[in-house]
């Protein structure tokens, strides 16, 4: 527990009440339900054996007085030694109090721990999705300014944390049954590998082979065509990483 009384902990049990609280927080924060992974899917992922060969699913929450005030949902993909973050969120009234940074650092530590289990010094980097202010519907932007964070402000935060935009046309496939694809998101990457950070280019295989296990977990059997389309758009050459404006 830090000096502000915030406790950071891993959620292991799919029936942990913190997971349900985090799910409610996600629905409250994000206006488009197609961008929210449902509670039953997160419970199913946590129920899987820890030694899944394609990805390791993790949930970390921030609590104050036993109440969830923030959380992050993410995975480590051994094939690329990269992470993918579905969410990092804090309660609207707690923005600016350092909870996001605590969760970011805790997530980074877990990813490095998993990388070491696979013989790596550290995790190579972290992919995350973010609203593109030019493509996100205006009504959604207005609603999320009330419930979460303005899209432009969010990008400034991501830039401060070292994220760059992956130069590829990005469409988030459906997160599960009843969900629709989302076309207003950008794919970002925080390069923790020194060479990638210096060159500001990420191997195309890191992108596709990190995302595809995640997509296949969201909608088993339905992600094959999405993965093929992504690989086609990426090509085989390293992909440019663009600084966020």
**Domain residue spans of the chain:** 7-243
Q: Are 210 and 84 in contact (CB under 8 A)?
A: yes
pLDDT tens digits, one per residue of 184-197? 999 999 999 999 99
Distance CA(230)–CA(133), nearest Å, equals 22
| pTM of the model as a whole | 0.94
Distance CA(158)–CA(151), nearest Å, equals 11
CATH level 2 (architecture), domain 7-243: 3-Layer(aba) Sandwich (3.40)
Longest Cα pair distance anywhere in the chain, in angstroms? Answer: 50
* pLDDT < 50 stretches in the chain: none
Please tell me the predicted confidence (pLDDT) of residue 55: 92
**Long-range contacts: 6-10, Cβ < 8 Å, 24+?**
6/62, 6/63, 6/64, 6/69, 6/99, 6/102, 7/62, 7/63, 7/64, 8/60, 8/61, 8/62, 8/63, 8/102, 8/103, 8/106, 9/60, 9/61, 9/63, 10/58, 10/59, 10/60, 10/110
Please tell me the predicted confidence (pLDDT) of residue 52: 60
Please tell me the predicted confidence (pLDDT) of residue 214: 94
């Amino acid at each position: 527990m830090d000096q502000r009384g915030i406790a950071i902990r891993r959620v292991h049990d799919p029936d942990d009440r913190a997971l349900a609280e985090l799910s409610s927080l996600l629905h409250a924060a994000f206006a488009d339900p197609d961008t929210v992974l449902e509670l039953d899917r997160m419970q199913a992922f946590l129920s899987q054996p820890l030694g899944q060969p394609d990805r390791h699913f993790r949930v970390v929450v921030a609590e104050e007085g036993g109440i969830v005030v923030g959380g992050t949902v993410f995975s480590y993909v051994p094939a690329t030694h990269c992470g993918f973050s579905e969410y990092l969120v804090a309660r609207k009234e707690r923005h600016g109090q350092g909870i996001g940074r605590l969760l970011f650092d805790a997530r980074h530590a877990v990813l490095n721990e998993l990388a070491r289990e696979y013989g790596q010094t550290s995790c190579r980097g972290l992919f995350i999705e973010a609203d593109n202010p030019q493509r996100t519907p205006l009504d959604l932007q207005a609603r999320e300014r009330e419930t979460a964070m303005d899209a432009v402000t969010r990008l400034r935060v991501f830039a401060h944390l070292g994220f760059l935009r992956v130069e590829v046309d990005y469409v988030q496939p459906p997160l599960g049954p009843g969900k629709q694809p989302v076309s207003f998101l950008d794919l970002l990457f925080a390069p923790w590998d020194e060479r990638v950070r210096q060159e500001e280019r990420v191997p195309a295989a890191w992108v596709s082979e990190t995302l595809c296990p995640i997509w296949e977990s969201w909608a088993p059997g339905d992600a094959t065509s999405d993965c093929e389309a992504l690989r086609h758009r990426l090509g085989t050459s390293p992909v440019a990483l663009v600084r966020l404006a």
